[in-house]
């Protein structure tokens, strides 16, 4: 599943850039894992997904892994903030976690010395990614339940 | 349940630690991370290839919907530009040939003497926070990290990672990109031309004789500047250049009116902001930098690029107080949003060359 999503990320989503921003399906997957299965399993899934994503990026290996792990962990916290989480609150949680994850990328890059990406543009990127992931979150939540059921959850 | 949670926490800690170790190794330039990337690439490339084929119709449909008007406008503009440049191309080729012969005659290095490899751009960076492209030539073709990459217009970026059959090119607009460049400030005043042969005969040794070829500058969009980036093999051009008159027209440059060059540091600032040039010395001799002044690579023993590759033109000059010097905003000559083919100069500065 991660390989297929990564392939979509490097091909289709890399070409289609609404408002000049690339939609981020890897962040969406990590956030969905966090929302569906909680912080711990989410973080595990995020770290593994991130390692795969790292392999096609030019940033230092391991950076996206930490970012996606943190994103999924944060996403896993959101359901605890509402009393009875419904389907739409999960979707909003995925979108918010995605936006936060997108902000974490340049912050993490700055922490290892690549400080040039901390710009106001980050907010635009986070907003666009958040909105796009809000649209695709229902499908991804279903896919996450289906794909992670037999593996990480046990 | 608590046992399971403890196991998960241990797994999270282990994976986080692995990531931190990998970051450290990668930042130190360890070869093991390249091996990891290469191994994953071998597994992932076929999947990506299939995905590219399957998703291409969707990508094309997206482009059709979102870029139709832009493409139509661009087509019209390009037709007009082709019509303008067709007539000037032959004379431009002759100018470049003459320039190269002159440089060779004086033992000066030219870009024509540097081997290059052509490559196709096969992908962009799948990230919002990286300005890189992937090309289909790698270390098998002699490409090494740091080599300059250009297209027909000018400088595009530099090689930052090489694999056997592909490489990663960091574009000029990436915030991590920096390069030493020259600003060529054109003189405002025109030189004194002496038409009187007697006066010419009595002029002092500071005068110089010039012959003029019909003025057509088509190798660059920058007025008054013939780029070194346009290189033509010396044995393939057969153009007759007609010199209208060899009458002794003497040109005496006004003192300080020759083009003056000043070096600075070009820095990228991301995809939405234009690159800038810093550390320009605000010397009086250099004069006021005006928008339109050409920017070319400076070269030198420490620079990764050879001299005189066209980078762009100055669009805005922001003066600063004191001796800080102005900051120049640059309009790049290369269109980085639409790269298809690039040329990698197999150039390494003297300080980087490894003697066998």
Sorted by where each begins, the domain ranges of chain B are 119-189+258-356
Token pair listed for B321: 């107080």
Q: Which of A87-96, B72-81, B164-173, B187-196 has the lowest mean pLDDT?
A: B187-196
Residue B216: pLDDT band (50, 70, 90) is very low
Q: How far apart are the CA of A106 and the nearest CA of chain B, in angstroms? A: 7
DSSP assignments along A59-126, one per residue = SPTTHHHHHHHHHHHHHHHHHHHSSS--HHHHHHHHHHHHHHHHHHHHHHHHHTT-GGG-STHHHHHH
The larger pLDDT score, comparing residue B193 to residue B323, is at B323
pLDDT at residue A89 in the model: 86
Q: Is residue A60 in some structural domain?
A: yes
- Contact indicator for A35, A141 with CB cutoff of 8 Å: yes
Q: Which of B3, B10, B23 is the best mutation test for A, with the most CBs of A within 10 A?
A: B23
State the fold for domain B119-189+258-356.
Answer: Thrombin, subunit H (2.40.10)
Mark which residues 26-45 of B lie under 8 Å from A by CB: 26-27, 33, 36-37, 40-41, 44
ipTM strictly over 0.85?
A: no
Token pair listed for B161: 């990672």
The CA distances from residue B263 to A75, A149, B180, B259, in Å, are 49, 60, 7, 13
- Contact indicator for B94, B241 with CB cutoff of 8 Å: yes
Q: Tell me if A7 and B50 make a contact (CB, 8 A cut-off).
A: yes
Q: Mean of the pLDDT values across residues B291-308?
A: 82
Closest CA to A91 of A131, A118, A46: A131
Q: Is residue A34 in some structural domain?
A: yes
pLDDT tens column, A112-147: 888 788 888 889 999 999 999 999 999 998 888 888
Query: How many residues are there in chain A?
Result: 154
pLDDT tens column, B121-173: 988 888 888 889 999 888 888 898 989 998 888 889 999 988 888 899 999 99
Closest CA to B273 of B315, B326, B305: B315
Residue B292: pLDDT band (50, 70, 90) is confident
pLDDT at residue A71 in the model: 93
Contacts of A55 in chain B (CB under 8 A): 36-37, 40-41, 44
Q: Is residue A151 in some structural domain?
A: no
Q: How far apart are the CA of B23 and the nearest CA of chain A, in angstroms? A: 5
Alpha-carbon distance A29 to A12, whole Å? 16
Residue A94: pLDDT band (50, 70, 90) is very high
How far, rounded to the nearest angstrom, does the alpha carbon of residue B293 sit from its chain's CA centroid? 16
- Using a CB–CB cutoff of 8 Å, tell me whether B276 touches chain A: no
Task: Find the helix packing angle between B2-27 and B31-105, rounded to 10°.
Answer: 20
Closest CA to B29 of B129, B160, B141, B139: B160
3-state secondary structure A130-144: HHHHHHHHHHHHHHH
- Contact indicator for A58, B130 with CB cutoff of 8 Å: yes
The residues, any chain, with a CB within 8 Å of residue B84's CB and separated by 6 or more, are none
pLDDT at residue B27 in the model: 86
pLDDT at residue B355 in the model: 58
Which residues on adjacent β-strands are paired with residue B332?
B312
User: How does the average pLDDT of chain A come out, rounded?
Assistant: 86
- Contact indicator for B165, B140 with CB cutoff of 8 Å: yes
pTM: 0.68
pLDDT at residue B59 in the model: 85
User: What percentage of chain A has pLDDT greater than the value 70?
Assistant: 96
Contacts of B270 in chain A (CB under 8 A): 116-117, 119, 121
Q: In terms of CA atoms, which chain A residue is nearest residue B173?
A: A116
- CATH number, domain of A98, equals 1.10.1760.20
> Which pairing describes strands B167-171 and B132-135: parallel, antiparallel, or unpaired?
antiparallel
Q: Is residue A103 in some structural domain?
A: yes
Residue A87: pLDDT band (50, 70, 90) is confident
Tokens 């359901």 belong to residue: A79
Residue A28: pLDDT band (50, 70, 90) is very high
What is the domain count for chain A?
1
Q: Tell me if A8 and B51 make a contact (CB, 8 A cut-off).
A: yes
Alpha-carbon distance B334 to A112, whole Å? 30
Q: Is residue A152 in some structural domain?
A: no
Residue B237: pLDDT band (50, 70, 90) is very low
Q: How far apart are the CA of A94 and the nearest CA of chain B, in angstroms? A: 19
pLDDT tens column, B50-66: 888 888 888 888 888 88
Cα dihedral: B158, B351, B266, B272 (round 10): 20
Q: Does residue B266 surpass a pLDDT of 60?
A: yes
Burial class (CB in 10 A: 0-12, 13-18, 19+), B11: middle
Q: How far apart are the CA of B179 and the nearest CA of chain A, in angstroms? A: 15
The larger pLDDT score, comparing residue A57 to residue B189, is at A57
């Amino acid at each position: 599943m991660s390989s297929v999503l990564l392939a979509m990320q490097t091909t289709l989503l890399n070409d289609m850039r609404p408002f000049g921003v690339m939609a981020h399906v890897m962040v969406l997957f990590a956030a969905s894992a966090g929302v569906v299965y909680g912080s711990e399993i989410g973080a595990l899934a995020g770290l593994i997904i991130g390692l795969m994503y790292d392999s096609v990026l030019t940033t230092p290996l391991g950076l996206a892994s930490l970012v996606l792990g943190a994103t999924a962990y944060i996403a896993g916290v959101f359901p605890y903030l509402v009393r009875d989480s419904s389907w739409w609150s999960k979707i909003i949680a995925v979108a918010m976690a995605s936006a936060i994850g997108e902000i974490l990328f340049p912050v993490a890059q700055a922490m290892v010395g690549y400080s040039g990406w901390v710009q106001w543009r980050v907010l635009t990127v986070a907003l666009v990614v958040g909105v796009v992931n809000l649209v695709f979150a229902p499908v991804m939540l279903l896919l996450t339940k289906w794909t992670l059921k037999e593996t990480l959850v046990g | 349940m608590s046992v399971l949670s403890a196991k998960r926490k241990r797994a999270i800690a282990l994976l986080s630690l692995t990531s931190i170790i990998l970051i450290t190794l990668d930042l130190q330039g360890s070869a093991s991370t390249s091996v990891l990337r290469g191994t994953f690439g071998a597994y992932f490339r076929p999947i990506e290839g299939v995905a590219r084929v399957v998703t291409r119709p969707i990508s094309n449909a997206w482009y059709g919907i979102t870029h139709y008007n832009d493409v139509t406008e661009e087509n019209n503009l390009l037709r007009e530009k082709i019509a303008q440049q067709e007539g000037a191309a032959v004379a431009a080729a002759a100018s470049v040939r003459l320039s190269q012969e002159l440089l060779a005659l004086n033992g000066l290095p030219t870009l024509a003497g540097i081997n290059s490899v052509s490559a196709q751009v096969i992908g962009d960076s799948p990230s919002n926070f990286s300005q890189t492209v992937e090309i289909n030539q790698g270390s098998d073709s002699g490409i090494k990290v740091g080599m300059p990459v250009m297209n027909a217009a000018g400088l595009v970026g530099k090689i930052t990672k090489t694999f056997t059959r592909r490489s990663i090119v960091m574009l000029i607009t990436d915030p991590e990109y920096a390069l030493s460049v020259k600003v060529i400030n054109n003189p405002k005043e025109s030189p004194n031309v002496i038409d009187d042969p007697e006066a010419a005969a009595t002029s002092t040794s500071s005068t110089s004789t010039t012959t003029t070829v019909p003025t057509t500058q088509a190798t660059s969009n920058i007025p008054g500047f013939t780029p070194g980036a346009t290189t033509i093999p010396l044995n393939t051009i057969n153009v007759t250049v007609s010199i209208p008159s060899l009458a002794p027209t003497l040109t005496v440059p006004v003192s300080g009116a020759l083009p003056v060059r000043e070096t600075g540091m070009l820095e990228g600032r991301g995809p939405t902001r234009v690159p800038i040039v810093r550390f320009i010395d605000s010397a009086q001799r250099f004069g006021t930098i005006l928008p339109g002044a050409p920017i070319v690579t400076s070269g030198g023993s420490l620079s990764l690029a050879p001299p005189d590759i066209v980078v762009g033109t100055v669009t805005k000059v922001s003066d600063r107080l004191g001796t800080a010097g102005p900051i120049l905003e640059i309009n790049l000559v290369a269109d980085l949003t639409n790269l298809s083919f690039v040329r990698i100069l197999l150039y390494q500065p003297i300080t980087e060359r490894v003697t066998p």
